[in-house]
Structure 1
Amino acid sequence: MEKIPMQNNSCKPKIDYPCVWQYTVIGMDRQAVRAAVLEHVGDVEISLSDSMVSSGGRYISMKLELTVYSDYQRLRLYEVLAGHPDIKVVL
């Protein structure tokens, strides 16, 4: 992955599409998080697996892996998932 200099001296990675991308999705209820992910990914092949449970047991995380075909698709899925009421954080 090549880094492309930005105007503010930060670097944005150059991503070659299509590529496999992974999100970590965090919420409070495993079934609700799973349903939210399935609602928004459509009919594409995904891997959705259990990841961690917080030390207090209040939050769960799941790993979502799928092939993305564009920057727009990758960022839009992030926005949609992050805006879902059953999802607290998307990484």
Structure 2
Amino acid sequence: METLNDKLAGKKLELEYPCNWCYKVIASEKETLEKAVKDVIEEREHKLTTSNTSKGGKYVSMNLDLLVHNEDDRQFIYDALKRHQDIKMVL
């Protein structure tokens, strides 16, 4: 029996742009993460909300919601966040 994951495997995500997009961003501390996000998106309108803190308190995650204009814009922001030295992971 074919599962949903089987059906979605290899399929490109189809979005209608512009659209709101949420990145989950993970770093070692909240203030560092907030500054890193500002470094990447500069003055662009966004909403940054606290998501989780790891059990041992070593990592924090926040949700970054903003309007993306097209696929290149969405991917550019993802890549820029991922490359930032203070950001551990982007989902």
Same fold (TM over 0.5): yes
CA displacement at 1:45 relative to structure 2: 1.2
Percent identity (aligned): 37
In structure 2, stretches of 5+ residues that fail to align are 1-8
Tell me the distance in 1 between the aligned counterparts of 2:40 and 2:70: 16
Q: Given residue 89 of structure 1, which amino acid in structure 2 is its aligned partner?
A: M
4+ residue runs of structure 1 moved beyond 6 angstroms?
Answer: none
State the secondary structure of the residue aligned to 2:55.
coil
The TM-score with structure 1 as length reference comes to 0.87
CA displacement at 1:60 relative to structure 2: 0.3
Structure 2 residue 87 is the aligned partner of structure 1 residue 87: yes
CA displacement at 1:42 relative to structure 2: 2.3
CA displacement at 1:20 relative to structure 2: 0.1
Structure 2 residue 52 is the aligned partner of structure 1 residue 52: yes
Comparing 37-46 with 20-29, greater Cα deviation is found at 37-46
Counterparts of 1:1-91 in structure 2 under 5 Å? 10-91=10-91
The TM-score with structure 2 as length reference comes to 0.87
RMSD: 1.0
In structure 1, stretches of 5+ residues that fail to align are 1-8
Number of residue pairs the alignment of both structures matches: 83
Q: Deviations over 1:66-91 (max 9, x none)?
A: 00001111001101111111100000
Comparing 33-42 with 15-24, greater Cα deviation is found at 33-42
CA displacement at 1:10 relative to structure 2: 1.2
Tell me the distance in 2 between the aligned counterparts of 1:71 and 1:35: 25
